Structure 1
Amino acid sequence: MSRSTEPGRAQRGQTSRALVPACLVAAAGGWGLTAAGAGAGTLATRYDTSLVVIGLLTTVLAVPYAAMQLPAGHLVDRFGARRTALVGLGVVVLSYVAAVVVPVLAVAFGARILAGAGSAVGFVVGADLARRAGVGPVGLGVFGGAAIGSGGLAVGVVPALEPLLGWSAAWVTCAATAAAAIVAVAVGVDAPSARAARPARLAAGPSVLGDGELYRLAAVHGVTLGLGVVLGNWAAVILHDRWGLPSGASSAIASLVLLTTIVSRPLGGYLAERFPHQMRWVVALALAVCAIDTVALAFPSTAAVAVAVVLTLGVASGLPFAAVLASAQRWRPDRPAAAVGLLNAMANSLVVIGTPLLAAAIESGQSVLALSVTGALWLVPVAALPRSLSRTSSRRRSARPGPP
């Protein structure tokens, strides 16, 4: 082995290690989003309430999770990723410990609200850690796959642990994933120097709320993440009720909407790194495929067709992720975390609004209309694709450096 290759390998090793905290922080947030639903039956029995009320435990987490994305981005830009992550994840752990120690429904609701606010830092911090590690679009894709894949993993793990942990399996695993992320951040992310730790004035530049390019990026991220999660929640019901597939098969096929993004998000990162100037075309094609697949769900066919539709939907919805996040961070180097927070706030707001609306449409027998409208929404960002998806387009850095 030549000595010239050793620094490169060492740097790659450091980059890989830096990606671990980013993935675990994001995974803690994704796990919490689905854990209550995964343990809904035992939670309903323990709290002596209905499944509808248990469903609200997901809503009360999702609302502050969406609302706190942009503030979390400002906190990361202001105080740094390490400090923000440790405080936010600490709130998550303490919230779920309280829910386990005091098994009262009101406490569970309070815990989920606080956990939603605390875990909001997960996605923003993870993206910022990935950016600072220099992992590139592929690394951002891996981070994104961990963020959404953990939610799919929770659906299987929480019920499997109920024989051991009982009704508290959902809350214990939420606390455990957040605690693991705390350890990873404490060990794997260096503390800022005394000078960097002091409050620093942000670089000059317009607010992210008034940045039109970020809203164009948010439109792409909003549909690919937001509509993907909405369809992932209700695809099993559609396949069972409308397509006539068995309940178990419907659930297994529907899970592919989110699970395939574990692979497609890194794949999208590879494409962004390999073909940066063609990403606008890749994104437009991916959105068109998602629109076609969504409308196809309205027209029943065989199980094989259902698998093909869901697989292509999952793959296509994951491809733009890394390019969009990298573009937002590159476009606003003065406020990279706030830029990502804005994107994720828009996407999660769509989840909060779209999930009950699609449910209402399905219950009222308007599945065809609802899926047709949803299919059309996939194409909205195509009307004004972000210029920054091309690496040649980036906002000029401010003369005054912002915080690390």
Structure 2
Amino acid sequence: MVAFTCAIVGVDTVFFSALTPLLPHYAAVAGLSKAGAGVLIGAYPAGTLIGSLPSGALVARFGDRSVALIGLGLMSLSTLAFGWLTAAPVLDMARFVQGIAGACTGTAALSGLATAAPRERRGELLGYDLGAAVVGALFGPVVGAVANAVGPGPAFSAASVAAGLLIAISFTVPAPRPEAPQRLRAALPALRDRQVVMGMWLMALAGIAFGVIDVLAPLRLSRLGSSGTVIAATFLCAALAESALSPLAGRMSDRFGPARPLTIALIAGIACSIVVPLTSTAPWLIAVLIAGTPFFGTLFTPASALVSEGSAGLGLHQGIGFALSNLTWAAGQATAASASGALAQATSDLVPYLLLAFACLGTLAVILRTRDGGQTTPSAPATPDARAPADERS
């Protein structure tokens, strides 16, 4: 189950992240401005936004495997269209359908793993799944670099074969134990639960961060003279660092509670948001992106653990819980991608990055205040053995 769900989310992020090094290419062939590039980047999370709640309802009614198959099929077809077409409206629509497919595969994969995982290891195993998403992001820029060399059509055609293979493999993987079907209205109590709401906001914040970076950073690197291959290598190295940090953040979340990894990630995110727009040479910008952006990605693991734990405590189907987190991530990334391009075009790159830094600072203040004040806050799972030191558990 872990291997299969890792493969699903990995393929999803391959298709998602392959656009980053190709953005200057599509800006040229489709005549995109910064605002148009932001719309293209934001089309994928916009599709995820629209598809999140329906995918959760489908998982709760028909099971994880059926919804994963729907997502993989849509992903393969929309990726083929994106590879061979160049008109801006068609590209936007293809990315939008990819986002709907990603909502289906992501909700199904995380729901299945969270259902099957032991409670005391849920954060760690979700960290592996999210780390696999980062591994997919490693290969996405590689696919983008290959597409720069041989053309998007052949490159994306080859990449879409992976989705077809996963469709075949899915019939050989045992499904997790079924949960009782639920309707979407069962999610209403979760919107008043502190753990779930905090997890949803952290998902949104991570989406906002990558919405800003994925639009502005590739265009800035291109203006500073970096080729598509160099841009791809930059994001590949950043994703490699994130893939190592995600399971670590999950283990820290299981043992000490999510507040500790969140504090580290937010401090690093604030520093990255301030330094990136002030860096004026390509080598230094590359170094800052590789060192700083992985910490935004580590927000996903404790956020997922919070949503999963809160959902379990409320008796909410994991598929609906992860649909809620997908919804907020997609809303954050879609809005930030579209708005940051337009805002940077009207002012400068510094303004969107500073707004991101303030959002991270405000979130950090809330986490520190609630933790120090003894209020309900992101904490370890509510089992004594999960919070006890290792020697006490022994």
TM-score range, shorter chain: 0.7 to 0.9
Please say if 1:352 is aligned against 2:334: yes
| Matched residue count | 365
Residues 1:249 and 1:32: Cα distance change in structure 2 (over 3 Å): closer
Aligned match for 1:146, one of 119, 132, 140: 132
Match of 2:4 in 1: 21
Q: Flag the 1:229–1:257 CA change in 2: closer, same or farther, 3 A.
A: farther
Deviations 1:174-228 (A, max 9, x none): 5223213323322223387xxx59x835699552663342222112222234303
The one-letter amino acid of 2:361's match is L
The 8 Å contact of residues 306 and 378 in structure 2, kept in 1 or not, is answered as: yes
Gap runs ≥5 in structure 2:
368-375, 385-394
> When the two structures are superposed, what TM-score results if normalisation uses the length of structure 2?
0.77
AA of the residue aligned to 1:324: A
Q: Which moved more, 1:385-394 or 1:226-235?
A: 385-394
Q: CA deviation at 1:31?
A: 2.3
| Contact 2:40–2:95 under 8 Å retained in 1 | yes
What is aligned with 1:187? 172
Residue 93 (str. 1) matches residue 44 (str. 2): no
Distance 1:176 1:320, change over 3 A: same
Report SS of the residue matched to 2:277.
coil
Match of 2:143 among 149, 152, 157: 157
Q: Secondary structure at the match of 1:189?
A: coil
Q: Is the 8 A contact 1:91 1:118 kept in 2?
A: yes
Q: What residue is the counterpart of 1:276 in the other structure?
A: 256
Deviation at 1:162, TM superposition (A): 6.9
Pick closer, same or farther for the CA change 1:260–1:118 going to 2, 3 Å: same
Cα separation, 1, equivalents of 2:305 and 2:175: 23
Helix, strand or coil at the partner of 2:172: helix
Q: Does 1:77 align with 2:39?
A: no
Deviation at 1:269, TM superposition (A): 1.3
Tell me the TM-score normalized by structure 1: 0.75
* Structure 1 position 331, deviation (Å): 0.9
**Could you say which residue in structure 2 is the equivalent of 1:33?**
16
1:36, CA displacement in angstroms? 4.7
CA shift at 1:21, angstroms?
Answer: 1.5
Asked which structure has the greater CA Rg, the reply is: 1
- Per the alignment, residue 369 of structure 1 pairs with 351
Contact kept? 1:40, 1:51, Cα under 8 Å: no
Deviation at 1:268, TM superposition (A): 0.7
Determine whether 1:224 maps to 2:206: yes
Q: For structure 1, which runs of at least 5 residues remain unmatched after alignment?
A: 1-17, 395-404
- Give, in whole Å, the separation in 2 of the partners of 1:110 and 1:235: 23
- The Cα of 1:326 is off from its aligned counterpart by 1.8
The one-character-per-residue Cα deviations of 1:221-259 (angstroms, maximum 9, x if unpaired) are 222343035324422444565xx5755756644554444
Partners of 1:356 and 1:265 in 2: how far apart? 27
CA distance in 2, matches of 1:116, 1:260: 25
Report the aligned-residue RMSD: 3.7
Q: Between 264-273 and 245-254, report the one with greater CA deviation.
A: 245-254
Q: Are the structure 2 counterparts of residues 284 and 133 from structure 1 closer, same or farther at C-alpha, using a change threshold of 3 Å?
A: same
Which whole-Å CA distance do the structure 1 matches of 2:185 and 2:331 have between them? Answer: 28
Please state whether the residue corresponding to 2:279 is helix, strand or coil: coil
Shift of residue 356, structure 1, vs aligned partner: 3.0
Q: Do structure 1's residue 325 and structure 2's residue 308 form an aligned pair?
A: no
Distance 2:86 2:291 in 1: 43
2:370 equivalent in structure 1:
none
Q: Percent identity?
A: 17
